[in-house]
Amino acid sequence: MRAFQPVAQEDYNGCSVSCVASLLGISYKKSLKLFGRYYSKEKGAYCRDIVKVLEKKKLNYKYSKVVNKTKRYVNEFGSIVFIRRSKEYPIGHYLLKTRNGWMNSWINLSMITPLKIPVKAGFQKRLPGKAQWIIYPNNNL
């Protein structure tokens, strides 16, 4: 498996776009073009939308709420996890699981003032919240 690069989100709700960009090894702007109507700056993207974008690139992914049957996919490399809303992530947040840890497209969120400090992406060892939804490779072809 190739090494994923961190991709900073360029929109407030752009974490899904960044995760797909990192997964595909493309820029945020190219990923945003792939999303087309499946993304809005006001609402971001839902799991089903991310799966449709990945299908455009011939990747077979599924999505599910994290339950006993699907929680094993949370730590699978290439999975995208949506963490539930919290004080730190008031609208929730998507992160990509990589060999380097979790690719977080806005790793400096807790200490950021948007007009003064640019958004930074990076890797962190632990998932910064409770996994609610999982987008995972469907290897059952």
Tokens encoding 137: 């490779």
pLDDT at 110: 62
65 Cβ partners below 8 Å, 6+ apart?
132, 133, 134
- Give pLDDT tens digits along the chain (141 positions): 567 999 999 998 999 999 999 999 999 999 999 999 999 898 999 999 999 999 999 999 999 999 999 999 999 999 999 999 988 888 999 999 999 999 999 998 765 555 556 889 999 999 999 999 999 999 764
pLDDT at 89: 87
Query: Residue 60 phi/psi, 5° resolution?
Result: -100, 100
pLDDT at 116: 57
pLDDT at 46: 96
For the full predicted model, state whether its pTM sits above 0.95.
no
Contact between 102 and 96 under an 8 Å Cβ cutoff? The reply is yes
How far apart are the C-alpha atoms of 134 and 72, rounded to whole Å? Answer: 10
* Domains observed in the chain: 15-137 (3.90.70)
85 Cβ partners below 8 Å, 6+ apart?
91, 92
Contact between 109 and 123 under an 8 Å Cβ cutoff? The reply is no
